[in-house]
Amino acid sequence: MGVGQRQRTGSSGQVNRQRIAAASAMAQVIKCVSNTARQPLDFPNLSSSLNAENMQLAWDEISSWPGYAPTPLHRMPELAEHCGVKAVLYKDEAQRFGLGSFKALGGAYAVANLMKRHRRAGQDLSALTVTTATDGNHGRSVAWGAQRVGCAAKIFIHKHVSKSREQAMRDLGADVMRIDGNYDASLAVCRDEAESQGWQMVSDTSWPGYREIPLEVMAGYSVLARELIEQVGNLPISHAFLPVGVGGMAGGIVAALWQEMGKQLCHIISVESDRAPCFQLSIAAHSPTKFEIVAETLMAGLSCGEVSELAWEILHPTLSHCLSISDQAVAPLMRLLGRESFGGLSLQAGECSTAGLAALLAANKDPKLRRELSLGRDSVVLLIGTEGATDPELYESILKGHNTT
């Protein structure tokens, strides 16, 4: 399966250019940090991190699941023309295993591995309870994974998680507990409860002493990158704009690209909300640095105040730049992608799916930033459509013209 090709007519092309220009006007990079620690290195293939073996194991397992199919990689000629680059590629995760996001690859895979370890140890699977904290999508993956193997799931959400996302996890059989505070607060409660109740945490972030399961989650995410490596064929990626929360997805993608490209690894650009720029702060400090979130971003999956230890180890030497963006372009870009603006293709793009595109459009408007990122006419830009309408009510409201909840 290669990169999707589409044609546009003259009249529709003019309308599309106008729509792109209008949405682009809203895109804003708040801050750009260049990573002075980046250096051309061979893929380290460390036993303690993502490596050829654990990424292959994830591929073998996940690609064997019923319903598996590579998600589409769309070529967006209208965007490439607007941005003055050779190609813009959009990896569309909206239909992944029917769960609506790339997260389906991670939590469910880690739960499947837990089940295997319990069986090998002769333990009663019905006694296994998995738990996690989530903004929605990761918890949905864990709940689905628990449903697949037949164990219990306890999911902690914070006060800003929508009712729709909460119900999606309940529909998969999970017990969902809502706590006061933000994502980091829900994670703290989850860790305490897991320890006191003897539950098994399946987190997509890692910290000292907790690495095995987050590593499996990230290995699951690497499947996405293996697909796109096959899909791009002879069209080499020069820039990857990757949405970042704790860094798990970006780490999984970068590890696979690094293994493929080695010292010729493309420009890796992290994109965060300016309301939760924990990776940008950490890269600037050359050390993991916590950010205290005081206002929630519309891009719920990016509302994270601390980086994942495992992701940091992969991204610190590989990121070229860290961009933080405002929320202003999120809703306009959701509408742009959903209104057949690209050769008649309607893309169901959730809030976080707009992050990379917003950063690209904002950089294109700023000649200095464009030069800083080495964007040019030969550039091939990768964007990740991380999620579809995982909050259907919010999605429909935005498509009807509302910019926030």
Query: Nearest-CA neighbor of 318 among 247, 233, 400?
Result: 247
Nearest-angstrom CA–CA distance, 19 and 341 = 7
All residues at 6 or more sequence positions from 20 whose CB lies less than 8 Å from its CB, including other chains: 78, 79, 82, 336, 341, 361
Nearest-angstrom CA–CA distance, 354 and 22 = 15
Nearest-angstrom CA–CA distance, 9 and 313 = 47
Q: Which long-range contacts (CB under 8 A, 24 or more apart) does 53-58 make?
A: 54/215, 54/216, 54/219, 55/219, 55/222, 55/226, 55/255, 55/256, 55/259, 57/219, 58/105, 58/109, 58/216, 58/219, 58/220, 58/222, 58/223
- 87-92 vs 129-134, strand pairing mode: unpaired
Let me know if 103 is a catalytic residue: yes
DSSP 125-189: GGG-EEEEEESSHHHHHHHHHHHHHT-EEEEEEETTS-HHHHHHHHTTT-EEEEESS-HHHHHHH
C-alpha dist (Å) from residue 160 to 22, 182, 244? 30, 7, 19
C-alpha dist (Å) from residue 254 to 55, 128, 318, 335, 386? 12, 32, 8, 29, 15
Instruction: Tell me the three-class secondary structure of 172-203, residue by residue.
Output: CCCEEEEECCCHHHHHHHHHHHHHHHCCEECC
Catalytic residue among 91, 92, 135, 327: 135
What single-letter amino acid sits at 108? A
Catalytic residue among 103, 184, 327, 391: 103
Let me know if 124 is a catalytic residue: no
Residue located via tokens 């090998």: 120
All residues at 6 or more sequence positions from 3 whose CB lies less than 8 Å from its CB, including other chains: 73, 74, 75, 87, 89, 231, 232, 233, 235
C-alpha dist (Å) from residue 158 to 133, 176, 182, 249? 8, 10, 5, 21
Residues tagged active-site: 103, 135
